[in-house]
């Protein structure tokens, strides 16, 4: 429910990775129907009419459980409220409500919905979200990596010659104009800079997402260095074995998700631009011959076992 059909390639990849995880966990046992966000309010009257008690609902993962992206939160509230008799699993999310009057009000609104569903299981993707959700929601809460880390595109073999800069231009950015210029000057020492972004300025329907994702992944895989403040800029680099320096955003989601990747020598998280040049040199010298996600896969296998147990499904 509520998958990405706007222009964010990171969120589109989340949907792709979610479906990969579903196939790996459940095989062909279930028919999977994707309900994209832009179609949700048009389709939901029919979904309510034909939903069976045995149907399982998965809520889209990502970084929108909170008051910063209310259209997504309102979709989630609606299907949790609408189907109290169905088991609902929210895929790995960042949980973030601003600590102001509006944030507190919207948290109460979400609590009124989530805390009244008897069969809700919420997965979070960073320790901060996990602790916040455990404190504020009464449903079962679990901690796993971002679902895109389930995917492995380390077999993408490209001639690494590009220097890429992937920076936000929205409310989550903490960089000012002067800081962006400083990044550009430092990165420019390593070659002509190509600017890319996981956010497109147009909508992408779910049936059209694959070519855009393939193009972006090949762009990342052809880079000798990427500097980014986008979460999935970092994760795309991780799963394609691409050297990357990642900077913070306005909340804890990047640093929290970096915790799952800090064993990769070619990914480096920095708090200050004073460390940028040193970090670039470090990741470019690092061994990036292997994307070792064995430990990550263990979390996703355990997640599959937990979900099956929660749903009352036994492994044969």
Burial of residue 10 (number of CB atoms within 10 Å: 0-12, 13-18, 19+): buried
For the segment(s) 162-285, the CATH number from 3.40.50.720, 3.40.50.1000, 3.40.50.2000, 2.30.40.10 is 3.40.50.2000
Q: How many other C-beta atoms are found inside a 10 Å radius of the C-beta of residue 240?
A: 25
Please report the pLDDT score of residue 29 as a whole number: 82
Q: Does the CA dihedral 52-116-134-102 come out positive or negative? A: positive
Please report the pLDDT score of residue 168 as a whole number: 86
Residues 6+ positions from 308 with CB-CB distance below 8 Å: 25, 314, 315
Asked if 24 and 304 count as a contact pair (C-beta separation under 8 A), the reply is: yes
Q: For the chain, which residues make up each domain, given as ranges?
A: 9-148+296-311, 162-285
Tokens standing for residue 157 = 């073999």
Q: Which of 82, 57, 84 is nearest to 2 (CA)?
A: 57
Give the chain's residues under pLDDT 50: none
Please report the pLDDT score of residue 156 as a whole number: 75
pLDDT in tens, 195-240: 999 999 999 999 999 999 999 999 999 999 999 999 999 999 999 9
Whole-angstrom distance, CA of residue 201 vs CA of residue 36: 18
Please report the pLDDT score of residue 112 as a whole number: 98
């Amino acid at each position: 429910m509520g998958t990405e059909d706007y222009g964010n390639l990171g969120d589109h990849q989340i949907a792709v990775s979610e479906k990969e995880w579903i196939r790996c966990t459940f095989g062909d046992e279930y028919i999977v129907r994707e309900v994209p966000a832009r179609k949700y309010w048009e389709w939901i009257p029919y979904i309510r009419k034909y939903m069976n008690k045995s149907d399982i609902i998965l809520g889209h993962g990502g970084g929108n459980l909170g008051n910063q992206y209310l259209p997504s939160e309102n979709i989630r509230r609606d299907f949790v409220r609408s189907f109290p008799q169905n088991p609902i699993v929210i895929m790995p999310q960042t949980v973030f409500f601003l600590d102001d009057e509006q944030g507190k009000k919207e948290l109460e609104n979400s609590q009124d919905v989530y805390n009244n569903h008897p069969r809700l299981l919420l997965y979070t993707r960073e320790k901060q979200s996990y602790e916040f959700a455990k404190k504020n929601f009464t449903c079962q809460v679990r901690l796993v990596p971002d679902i895109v880390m389930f995917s492995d595109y380390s077999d993408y073999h490209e001639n690494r010659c590009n220097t890429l800069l992937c920076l936000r231009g929205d409310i989550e950015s903490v960089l000012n104009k002067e800081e962006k210029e400083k990044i550009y000057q430092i990165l420019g020492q390593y070659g002509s800079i190509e600017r890319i972004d996981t956010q497109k300025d147009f909508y992408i329907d779910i049936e059209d997402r694959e070519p855009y994702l393939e193009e972006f992944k090949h762009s990342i895989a052809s880079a000798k260095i990427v500097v980014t403040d986008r979460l999935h800029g970092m994760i795309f680099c991780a799963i394609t074995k691409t050297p990357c320096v990642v900077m913070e955003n306005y909340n804890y989601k990047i640093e929290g998700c970096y915790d799952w990747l800090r064993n990769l020598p070619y990914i480096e998280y920095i708090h200050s631009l004073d460390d940028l040049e040193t970090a670039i040199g470090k990741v470019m010298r690092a061994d990036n011959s292997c994307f070792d996600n064995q430990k990550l896969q263990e979390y996703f296998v355990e997640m599959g076992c937990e979900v099956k147990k929660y749903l009352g499904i036994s492994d044969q």
